[in-house]
Structure 1
Amino acid sequence: AEVRRLQRELDVARLPGRSAQLQAQAAQVEAARAALAQADWTLNQKALRAPTGALVFDTLYREGEWVAPGSPVVRLLPPGNIKVRFFVPQAALAGLQPGREVTLRCDGCQPLPARIDYVATEAEYTPPVIYSNDTRDKLVFLVEARPAPAQAARLHPGQPVTVEPR
């Protein structure tokens, strides 16, 4: 009986449709692998990564909210883009030129060196003011200085600092 059972299994294996069935199943396996590779590629296209390490400055959308295609979800602030904006009176303006070094001090942090990269060409007024020769001391000029990117990460947006010339 065992010999007859094995003989019948061999007969079934030799049937003409058997090799075609095996080829069809091999093709199905290959198609499933190709579909998996396509799904992996699609997932990798949807996963975005920041080009550099940065501080998440603002979150525009939360989990569960609808976001239009191509819209930003967060705003990043790389250390190289951190700058300190401060205002100086007209009398101190002559000593501040782009490229000059200044020292930044803040509560609870070590002094940070920074380089001035912008000095406004137009004055602003500290309100309330009526422009006259008597109120010239109320004129202020915007100055921007950037610390080195490695040290800029120690500062936080909106943090008050004291700026001293070097």
Structure 2
Amino acid sequence: MTKTIQFFAWAFLVLGCIILIVFLNKASIDGYTISNGVPTNYETTGQFGDFIGGVVGTFFALVGTLLIFLTFKEQSANNKRIAFESSFFEMIRLYRANVNDITYTKTKNKKEIVYEKRQAFRIIFNEFIDCYREVKKVFKFKRDFTLHNA
């Protein structure tokens, strides 16, 4: 969509410039010129300027509108990316703060051992695996995924 709008913006800009050049060339051929910075006939050149401004100015206004639309679209995409990045990095900061605050106390041979930070996660995970293996020995799991009518 963005490429299409860019294409139309460039096309209308080129079209406006071509129309401007064609009408200026036609006016020059018909003998309407500006000599020494002073128009030769105010009424005729005023009408010609109004015509050019109305036709070519419309194309340039359309190009400006399309480019403003593209700018807003790009800005919206950038704002979404920035919002995602800021929330993502905030979550990482909170995760690190939580990891630094965690402690796990384990009693072994009537002696308390305190694990902190990442080491606590490793100990808790290993204990979970040990519990799973013990339960697996007692219960022989059989997976049955069929639905039974109650």
With the length of structure 1 as denominator, give the TM-score of the two structures: 0.30
Which structure has the highest strand share of the two? Answer: 1
With the length of structure 2 as denominator, give the TM-score of the two structures: 0.32
Quick check: which has more Rg, 1 or 2? 2
Which structure has the highest helix share of the two? Answer: 2
